[in-house]
Structures are given as C-alpha cells and as structure tokens.
C-alpha cells in the first residue's frame, strides 16, 4: 500500500492541521488568570478539556460547536471553582478562528493538492472552520462539519455521511485515505467503517493524550508520521521510486 494509491485525502482539521492544543491553552489563559494561586500543568488542563468536551458532545450532539465550547468553558470554570461570566464563556466559544495552524500545514496541503482531492471532516461548525480555512490557505474540494451532520466524531455517522457524499461524487471507500491526529476521534471510527488511515502523531510520543481522550484498545492505522511535512516527504519518495 502506498500513499499515492489514493485519490481522496480526508483530513481531521483540529490537532492535525490546526494546533488546537496551543489554541485551547491560549484561549483558557483569561480564565486561569482569575485564580493564579492554583497552578495547573498544560497536560492537566488539556485532559480536563478533553473530558468535558467529549461529555458535552455526547450529551448535546446537535449543539453548534461554538456554543458547545462555551458550555465546556462553563464546566471547566465550575470544576476549578473560578467565577466566570457569560461573556467569558462566549469568548472561549468563539476562539477557534484564533487557533494557529501548524507551521507545515499550508505548504503540505498545497503540495498534496497537486495529486489528490482534499476533504475536511471536522467536529466544528461552519463559521469556525471558515476562519481556520483562512489560515490554511488551500481550496478544499469538500468540507463536512458536525453542524452539517448533526453529531460529533467518533460517532460512525460522521464517517458514513462523508463516505456517502464522496460515493455520490464518484469515489469508493478504496479511493479514500483518512489523515488525522486523534486515535480516539478519527482512527477508531475509521477502522470501524473500513477506511485506511494515516496517523499524524503531532504529540510525537509525549505522555498522555493531550486534548483527546485515550484511544480504545486495538486501534489501528496504516501509516504513521510525526508531521504533515514527513508525510509529504514520504509521498515524494514514492513518486521518485
């Protein structure tokens, strides 16, 4: 199996192309500054975020992501015993557009666009992704968000929705390679629906799972790279060979 065997590359965005962990930490700084006496490590903050975001997505699968993030902020404030206003919750919910792209994302996508259709499957809403798209500076061939689908990954319905849409445009499952950082949100459900996948291990063997819950046992992937730049180099090597 080769990267160049596939016609369509489908991407998770946040954690894979957009550095959501840095974005989350930066957006939570105003809340954390309200209680400077208690120091929380980056890993502790991200693990708390992962727990509350996953729970909120399961409880309210049809809630728009901006609103859902506001609820996550509310839950974090309550857990940490920090007083926060509705404006604070709203500001965190609207922070997605400020989350930075990884340094290699734009160049990697521009290269891959020469050879493949590029598709986004994301847990955010359309408005939030529109802001992130400006940072990525590439024309995606299709974008499927949780707002479009009415549920959040790892729900298999999100992947089936994408597969169905791509099938209607003439692409079978065997044409699709899913590229993502989250073993929990993306690779486990990709396994379940029969999609091949690439793990972009942005955490590069760092301890813990960061802003995602731990993956289920037995999750698989077909390729593994520490960055999008490494994936591009592997793709170039295939073409040269």
Q: What amino acid positions are annotated as catalytic residues?
A: 12
| Residue ranges with strand state E in the chain | 8-11, 117-122, 142-145, 176-180, 196-200, 223-225
Tell me which long-range contacts 132-136 makes (C-beta under 8 A, separation of at least 24).
132/13, 132/14, 132/17, 132/18, 132/96, 132/97, 132/99, 132/101, 134/97, 135/18, 135/100, 135/101, 135/105, 135/106, 136/17, 136/18, 136/101, 136/105, 136/106, 136/109
Place of tokens 């707002």: 147
SS3 51: helix
Whether residue 102 contacts residue 17, with contact meaning beta carbons closer than 8 Å, is answered with: yes
Q: How far is CA 168 from CA 29, 160, 171, 210, in A?
A: 44, 12, 7, 36
């Amino acid at each position: 199996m080769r990267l160049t065997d596939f016609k369509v590359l489908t991407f998770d965005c946040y954690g894979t192309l957009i550095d959501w962990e840095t974005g989350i930490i930066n957006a939570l700084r105003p809340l954390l500054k309200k209680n400077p006496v208690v120091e929380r490590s980056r890993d502790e903050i991200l693990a708390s975020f992962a727990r509350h975001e996953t729970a909120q997505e399961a409880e309210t699968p049809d809630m728009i992501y901006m609103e859902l993030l506001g609820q996550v902020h509310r839950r974090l404030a309550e857990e940490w015993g920090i007083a926060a206003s509705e404006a604070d919750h709203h500001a965190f919910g609207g922070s997605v557009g400020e989350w930075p792209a990884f340094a290699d994302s734009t160049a990697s996508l521009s290269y891959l666009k020469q050879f493949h259709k590029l598709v986004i499957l994301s847990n955010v809403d359309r408005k939030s992704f529109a802001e992130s798209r400006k940072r990525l500076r590439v024309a995606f061939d299709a974008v499927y968000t949780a707002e479009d689908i009415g549920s959040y990954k790892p729900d298999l319905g999100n992947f089936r929705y994408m597969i169905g849409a791509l099938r209607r445009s003439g692409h079978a499952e065997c044409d699709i390679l899913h590229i993502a950082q989250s073993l929990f949100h993306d690779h486990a459900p990709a396994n379940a629906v029969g999609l091949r996948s690439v793990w972009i291990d942005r955490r590069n063997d760092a301890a813990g799972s960061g802003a995602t819950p731990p993956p289920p046992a037995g999750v698989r992937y077909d390729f593994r790279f520490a960055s999008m730049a490494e994936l591009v180099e592997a793709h170039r090597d295939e073409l040269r060979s």
